[in-house]
């Protein structure tokens, strides 16, 4: 199941970077968390864990999202930009969920 959409360029670059790792992991983990200050996104190489939602792309790239992150990543996309000023991966979320302050007093 595809929770976060990876552009073709992001899929290609992630696969290349993963294969270049000294100790390759199973795939790319995309996670999200946060609170009153908004959503924080994390990406990195990892192995799958019980309860992960896993999507395999045609090029063999495996993308994993934990169940807690899935609602915050729904509708987002991961892009790769190779412009010299903004090179790297970037998560784009056109309609991010409202932050959950968890009862804090920061309003």
CA–CA distances in Å: residue 42 to residues 27, 70, 83:
14, 13, 21
Total-model pTM:
0.82
pLDDT in tens, 53-62: 999 999 999 9
Q: Which residues contact 4 (CB under 8 A, 6 or more apart)?
A: 30, 63, 65, 73, 76, 77, 78, 91
pLDDT at 65: 96
Residue 100 has pLDDT above 80, yes or no: no
pLDDT in tens, 67-89: 999 988 998 999 999 887 888 99
Q: Which neighbouring-strand residues pair with 3?
A: none
In whole angstroms, give the CA distance from residue 22 to residue 2: 27
In whole angstroms, give the CA distance from residue 51 to residue 32: 15
Query: Tell me, which fold does domain 5-92 have in CATH?
Result: Hypothetical Protein Aq_1857; Chain: A; (2.60.300)
């Amino acid at each position: 199941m595809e929770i976060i959409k990876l552009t073709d360029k992001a899929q290609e670059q992630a696969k290349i970077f993963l294969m270049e790792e000294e100790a390759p992991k199973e795939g790319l983990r995309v996670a999200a968390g946060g609170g009153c200050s908004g959503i924080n996104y994390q990406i990195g190489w990892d192995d799958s864990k019980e309860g992960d939602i896993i999507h395999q792309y045609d090029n063999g790239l495996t993308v994993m999202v934990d169940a807690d992150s899935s609602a915050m990543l729904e509708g987002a996309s991961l892009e790769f930009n190779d412009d010299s000023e903004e090179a790297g991966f970037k998560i784009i979320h056109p309609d991010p969920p409202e932050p959950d302050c968890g009862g804090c007093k920061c309003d």
